[in-house]
Structure formats: C-alpha cells, structure tokens
Amino acid sequence: MSVSQKDRSGLVEVVDDIEAINALYRERQWGDGLPVIPPTRERVERMLAGTQRAHDEVVAEVAPGFGVATVQQIAVNAVLAGCEASHMPVLIAAVEAISAPEFNLQAVSTTTNAATAWVIVNGPVAQKLGMNSGLNCLGQGNWANATIGRAVHLIMQNIGHALPGEMDRATQGQPGKFTFCCSENEAASPWMPLHVERGFKSEQSTVTVVGASGTLNMLCHEKDAMDLLRVIADSMIYPASNDYWCGGAPWLVLGPEHADILHLAGLSKADVKALLWEKTKMQASRRSIKDLARTRDARSAELGEIGLDTLLPISPTPDEIGILVAGGPGTHSVYVPTFGNTRSVTRVIEL
C-alpha cells in the first residue's frame, strides 16, 4: 500500500484551526478542492446518530481502490461534505448502489470519460430532507442536494481512492464531479415516479445512481408531442457518444411542462422510451472510422454485422433509456448521456 493510501484513514491530531486543517486536507488530497468541515470525533459521532447501522458495519468495498466503506467512514466523508445526520441513510444506500457490479464503478471512476455518479432520490425522504426537485434542481442552492452529492464524490475519492490524475483518469472531467444530486419532482410528474416504475412502493424511498457524462440543456417550445420527441431525439444523437459505442443507457430529465405535453398526447413513459429509441437510431457512418471499428467490436454480438448504413440504437433496448421528471416551470429538458458501459442502480433507503 502506498503512503498516500495508508494515510487515507485513521485519526490525526491537528491544531484546532480551520485554515490549518484545510491546508492539511489540501496537502494530503483528502478533499475535492473546496473547503471542508473538519471531521472531529464529536462531529462524526453526531453524524453517526443519523443511522441505526453499526458503526463498524461494512457497507461496501469501493472501486477502484476497493477501500472499505464502513458506516463510520461514510460518516467522516459526510461531515467533510457538510451533510446533516439525517442524510446518512441516503448516503449508505448510495454507497450500496455505486458498488453494485452493474454500475461498473471500477470503469466509471477510472475512465478518461467525464463520467461520474449522478444521485437521484425518490420517495418521501426527499421532501423530508428538503431536497430540491424543482427550479434549478441540478444547480446550486439546496443544502441536501449539494452536500449529499458532494459526500458521494468524496467517498468515491477518499474510500475508493479515485484521486484525480491518479486512478481517476478523466481527460477533462466535469463540474458534476464535485456534486451531482437531485430528487424527482414526483408531484409535478404525470407518470409514476422512477422508484415505483422500478418495482418499489411509493411510500418507500430510494437512491438511484447513474454513470453520467454530463448534462445538455434542451430548449423546445413545441406543444405537439411527436414534434417535441423528434427534437429531443435529434438532440440525443451525437457521433462521439459513448452510448452509441457500446449500447448504453442514457437519461432524460424531462421538465414537467414537456412531460405534460407527452402525457396529454396519451403517451406513457414506456411509450416515450419506445418512440425515442426508434428516433435516436444513428447511421453508423456518422461515427469516425476508428470509433466505428470500436462499435463493431462492442456491438456485433448485439446487432450482427455493422455496415456504414446500419442504424445504431442508442441502447440495446428501449427500456434502458431512463426518464426522470424534474425541474420547475419552463420549456427545458436535460439530456444526460452516460459512460455507456454502466447501468443505473436503485437501492432502498433504510430509515
């Protein structure tokens, strides 16, 4: 174990001075570049009061370094991020979710792609924690959204050892690697919430994690559902996409106004996915020659022989396109392309 990895856990005695402590965090790469709240014994104890799980219980081993995420280690990072004790159950479920094999955190954390974990909260806990699912839900300003997302990223770095420039090989990365978290606007959605779609009860609360490569805002004033879908689908198609490389599972954050237009046209969420899946098929020749060769390697078993005229689906099946309804008033939706070789994972939040 290298010195830097060995030094990433345990007790350190320091002067009780926030600037000195933050300087130590900078020096040891224990933070994310922003000031942190020092995780003193007292603060970690208060954080641990937010869960009934045993402090030394192992929640997961976090890739790529496979550091052991005990409940206490999660609490330490929660303090660093500025979380409240009531956020602990969300964080524990999020750590379980990012560590599920199908999320492929090993690759999400080490790829040159900008991918990172987008954390989505569903169910009653979102309101209880005062999370933002409305105006600016993917932006700044909400304590729970900001600190929960930040804590998950600090866990990926401090417990998973995904240090930028070291094991985290992102060519540029993205702002979402500081924090990327919201809840679904279930009240404004015309459809069943994400967690109910995935078989959970509406009164349960869940965390869903997505290996997201970024966000692309889509403005569309159209009121006709089919034309709106055509424009959204066109916006989802881009030749340099990881999703087309290996058959991914991209996501849409539909603004409530867009969702209503689709719903009023009689479309279910499954209908929208099926239509988008058809409309996002991209001619294989739009990929670069080298990248088309990679697509052939990755998708021949799924699609058979891939010629220049082959229409590549964005995901192997329509259902693998994820849909979340979130945001406030406005004719905007957001496209969230993914790393491709990753699948979203939903876990129950045990309160």
Partner 1 sequence: MIATTAFIKLARAQASAFGQPDLPIAVIPHPLGTRSRAEVRELAEKHVADIVALVCQAGAK
Residue numbers at the binding site for partner 1 (CB under 8 A): 1-2, 5, 64-67, 110, 112, 161, 165-167, 169, 290, 293-294, 297
Q: How far is the CB of 30 from partner 1 (least distance, A)?
A: 16
* 313 secondary structure, DSSP code: P
| Cβ nearer to partner 1, comparing 161 with 343 | 161
Burial 168-189, CB ≥16 within 10 A → b, else e:
bebeebbebbbbbbbbbbbebb
| Cβ nearer to partner 1, comparing 189 with 341 | 341
Pairing of strands 251-254, 282-283: unpaired
Q: How far is the CB of 163 from partner 1 (least distance, A)?
A: 8
Instruction: Return d(Cα 284, Cα 259) in angstroms, integer.
Output: 30
| Cβ nearer to partner 1, comparing 112 with 317 | 112
Q: How far is the CB of 244 from partner 1 (least distance, A)?
A: 15
Q: How far is the CB of 110 from partner 1 (least distance, A)?
A: 6
Residue 23: partners with Cβ closer than 8 Å, 6 or more residues away: none
Q: How far is the CB of 237 from partner 1 (least distance, A)?
A: 22
* 329 secondary structure, DSSP code: S
| Cβ nearer to partner 1, comparing 7 with 234 | 7
| Cβ nearer to partner 1, comparing 2 with 140 | 2
- Exposed (0-12), middle (13-18) or buried (19+): which is 107, by Cβ within 10 Å? middle
* 330 secondary structure, DSSP code: S
Residue 335: partners with Cβ closer than 8 Å, 6 or more residues away: 215, 216, 218, 232, 235, 236, 250, 251, 252
| Cβ nearer to partner 1, comparing 32 with 168 | 168
First to last CA, the chain: 36
Q: How far is the CB of 64 from partner 1 (least distance, A)?
A: 6
Q: How many residues does the chain have?
A: 351
